[in-house]
Chain A
Amino acid sequence: MKKEEKHKEPDRFSEETEKMISGTQIHWKKSRDEVWMELEKKIAIAPSAGKIILFRPWLKIAIAAGIALMVGISALINFYTKTINVPMGQHAEIYFPDNSRINLNAQSTLSYKPLLWKFSRSVKFEGEAYFDVMKGKQFEVFSGKGKTIVLGTTFNIYSRNIDYQVTCISGKVKVSGISGSQDVILNPGQQALLNTEGTLVIQSEIDTDQTLSWLNNKLSFTSVPLKKVFEEIGRQYGVLINIPEDLEYTYTGTFMKEGSVENVLNLVCRPFDLEITRKADNEYIITGNK
């Protein structure tokens, strides 16, 4: 290997420095031949039979298969999603791998990735549910109208149609509107809800027992538009209730779910002078008396 071989270098040293560098040598204590003598003694013992060929063709295939398998497994982990659909008239209780619990109200949908749970506690959710989240990493709930982030708390989310209400029962809860720009932090007893302009407002001193009354099969309404009351009754009993368009009343009242749907409908309808007609096994028509 010659020293004269030159490269096109934009940056050379002064002649003096170049001379010095090229005149620099390493003075080895052992010459190559001396090292060889030593090495020869060592290899006398080592076997020399048989050749090991690196990268046999099947090895390449095996490696390719291995990579494909790994990609497959990671895709599986990434895409494997568990979805829970709770139909009308039913409730459900779900436990996540870390023992966080969710109670789902009727007609709610929840999906999450169980294999990724350790790394990201993130669920998609529509409907109404009570969350009891174990302390740990960030827990995220994505709904159509907003996002709720907690570390380890209990809270209730109501996300149906245009409504999005998050009620904090214990700990701290962060709620973001769909735009993402607006964050609110809730303390126990506070509720965030989307107003008609689509911005999140906080309401304090919420009666959390009432918010969670559904957990005890209790239906509790405070100044709720009658239309929503019928929706909720239909949801809880799994029946279809047809109502007239022009129901402007609001309703306040509490009743247990034990009674039959007809009893409950009677309770609600009587004060407003509404009439109930049974159309089919699980279909009722409400008509106003004008």
Chain B
Amino acid sequence: MTKEEFKSLFDAYFDSVRSYLFYRGAEKEQASDLAQDVFLRVWEKQMDIDMKRALGLLYKIAGDMFISQYRREKLEINYKAALENDSVDFSPEDQLRYKELFSRYTKALAALGERHRTVFMMSRMDGLKYQEIADRLHLGVKAVEKRMSIALAFLKKALQE
């Protein structure tokens, strides 16, 4: 793999991989570091990555790295500090309601199971299609649908209360 090829791989997928690590439950800085390590490993091993399978492979490496890191230090998931909402152009009353809703949302995210949260956030934050999520996580589309509907039901309940 030439450096140019590597750079294009990095540019194309670094953001998604980093977000994925964050969805899994890594802290923001940690997600950046881990994502960097994922690409470093690909480079060091000089993996002959077929572009079609590259994404799935990157996600797999990222997931494995996250888990080994997670084993080393049990992570506290804190979405409130990491996520930000840029809906500011509302009346103070609306903003207050938003803030309230938003804090409930981040709490619910932290409470949601890792697998469900990851799929949900890949769908809503990255705007990926179910098929794309399925490919990246080596899952079936049905499994993604199932996780999505569980996540949605969970969050809906948490936000309505």
Q: Mark B116-142, 1 if CB is under 8 A from A, else 0.
A: 000000011111111000000000000
9-residue interface stretch from A51-59, A87-95, A142-150: A51-59
Question: Do the beta carbons of B126 and A1 come within 8 Å of each other?
Answer: yes
Question: Do the beta carbons of A17 and B47 come within 8 Å of each other?
Answer: no
Q: Mark A18-57, 1 if CB is under 8 A from B, else 0.
A: 0111111111111010011011001100111111111000
Q: A13-B156, A52-B45 are in contact. List 12 more A-B contacts (CB 8 A).
A: A1-B127, A3-B127, A4-B127, A5-B129, A10-B149, A13-B159, A24-B83, A24-B105, A28-B18, A28-B32, A35-B32, A51-B46
B78 on interface, CB distance cutoff 8 Å = no
Question: Do the beta carbons of B86 and A23 come within 8 Å of each other?
Answer: yes
Question: Do the beta carbons of A7 and B84 come within 8 Å of each other?
Answer: no
Question: Do the beta carbons of B32 and A46 come within 8 Å of each other?
Answer: no
Bound Cα distance from A27 to B152, whole angstroms: 24
* B99 → A minimal CB distance (Å): 10
Chain A residues with CB below 8 A from B19, complex form? 26
Chain B residues with CB below 8 A from A15, complex form? none
Bound Cα distance from A19 to B124, whole angstroms: 11
* B36 → A minimal CB distance (Å): 5
B82 on interface, CB distance cutoff 8 Å = yes
19 residue pairs from A and B, CB less than 8 Å apart: A1-B128, A5-B127, A5-B128, A7-B148, A11-B156, A20-B102, A21-B124, A23-B85, A24-B102, A25-B83, A25-B84, A26-B22, A26-B82, A27-B84, A32-B11, A39-B10, A39-B39, A48-B2, A48-B43
Chain B residues at the A interface, C-beta cutoff of 8 Å:
1-3, 6-7, 10-11, 14-16, 18-19, 22, 28-29, 32, 35-36, 39-40, 43-48, 82-87, 98, 101-102, 105, 123-130, 148-149, 152-153, 155-156, 159
* A40 → B minimal CB distance (Å): 8
Question: Do the beta carbons of A39 and B40 come within 8 Å of each other?
Answer: yes
Bound Cα distance from A16 to B126, whole angstroms: 19
Interface majority SS (helix, strand, loop, mixed), chain A: loop
Chain B residues with CB below 8 A from A17, complex form? 101, 105, 159
* Interface-centre pick from A10, A16, A20, A29 (highest chain B CB count, 10 A): A20
* B31 → A minimal CB distance (Å): 8
Question: Do the beta carbons of A39 and B36 come within 8 Å of each other?
Answer: yes
4 tightest A-B CB contacts, nearest first: A3-B127, A11-B152, A23-B87, A53-B48
Q: Which residue of A lies closest to B153 (CB)?
A: A11
Chain B residues with CB below 8 A from A36, complex form? 7, 10-11, 14
Question: Do the beta carbons of A9 and B36 come within 8 Å of each other?
Answer: no
Question: Do the beta carbons of A28 and B28 come within 8 Å of each other?
Answer: yes
* A279 → B minimal CB distance (Å): 77
* B159 → A minimal CB distance (Å): 6
Chain A residues with CB below 8 A from B46, complex form? 47-52
Q: Which residue of B lies closest to A27 (CB)?
A: B84
Question: Do the beta carbons of A22 and B18 come within 8 Å of each other?
Answer: no
Q: Given A28-B18, A29-B28, check contact A54 B10 (CB 8 Å).
A: no
A60 on interface, CB distance cutoff 8 Å = no
Chain B residues with CB below 8 A from A21, complex form? 105, 124
Selected from A9, A10, A13, A16, the residue in CB contact (under 8 A) with B155 is: A13
Bound Cα distance from A47 to B43, whole angstroms: 9
* A120 → B minimal CB distance (Å): 34
Question: Do the beta carbons of A7 and B85 come within 8 Å of each other?
Answer: no
Chain B residues with CB below 8 A from A43, complex form? 3, 6, 40, 43-44
Chain A residues with CB below 8 A from B43, complex form? 43, 46, 48
Question: Do the beta carbons of B152 and A30 come within 8 Å of each other?
Answer: no
* Interface-centre pick from B1, B10, B123, B149 (highest chain A CB count, 10 A): B10
Bound Cα distance from A30 to B18, whole angstroms: 11
Bound Cα distance from A23 to B155, whole angstroms: 16
